[in-house]
Amino acid sequence: MPQPPILPKIDWETVFESGLDYLEWIEAGESPENQDKMENIRQSLILEPQIAAFLEALPCPIHVVAIAEDWCGDVVRHVPVLERLAETAPNLKVRYISRGQWPEVFVRFLTNGGEAIPKFIFLNETFTECGNWGPMPRLCGDIIARGKACGDIGAARKKVSGIYEADHNKRLVLDELLHLIDIASSREP
């Protein structure tokens, strides 16, 4: 029986090191208006004490490769949450890349065959891939998928917009990202 094609191994450390830190990424962006929105979200997001304590006590380095471009609405909503977590956690390091910078990486993280961003790839201290997130919380992604399935993507987007508006403290995103941080920092199964 023929073997399925094997995707080439990704050198995650090289990909990570090629990325920009948050300030470099913001400065290199295309949309000053969206950059201001992201900064406002990041600065206004207050983490609960137990979340901050968890992040401050991470036992090992965690690396996140964020595929993000500042023209995208979901990037504007979700990158500030990731960055707020990173600035609270000394062991959480994030680097930003564009879709075109590493197309062979991006193509592995399509959403239902589509090019959706952001994508956050969580790597442990040895740059082993431990999980990924994006372009939106699972609940919202499921609603979009249902909208596509029934042919009413407009109604799905409206529902997702309502969820985003109601989630002022970004709890949906926070919970999912914290779950992946917990996995990447695991010391036992």
- 157, part of any domain: no
Torsion of CA 119, 65, 52, 56, to 10 degrees: 160
Distance between CA atoms of residues 89 and 55, nearest Å: 5
Domain count, the chain: 1
- Asked if the structure places residue 53 within a domain, the reply is yes
- Cis omega (within 30 of 0) for bond into 61: no
Residue 158 lies in a domain: no
Identify whether 4 is part of a domain.
no
Answer yes or no: is 162 within a domain: no
- Contact assessment for residue 76 and residue 173, using Cβ atoms and an 8 Å cutoff: no
Q: Is residue 34 part of a domain?
A: yes
* Residue 3 belongs to some domain of the structure: no
Task: Give 111's contacts (C-beta < 8 A, 6+ positions apart).
Answer: 134, 135, 141
The one-digit pLDDT tens for each residue of the chain (189 residues) are: 666 677 788 999 999 999 999 999 999 999 999 999 999 999 999 999 999 999 999 999 999 999 999 999 999 999 999 999 999 999 999 999 999 999 999 999 999 888 999 999 999 999 999 999 999 999 999 999 999 999 999 999 999 999 999 998 999 999 999 999 999 999 888
Residue 49 near residue 55 (C-beta atoms within 8 A): no
For residue 154, tell me if it sits in a domain.
Answer: no
Q: In this structure, what CATH number is given to the domain that contains residue 58?
A: 3.40.30.10
Q: Which domain holds residue 48?
A: 12-136+171-184
Cβ atoms of residues 16 and 129 within 8 Å:
no
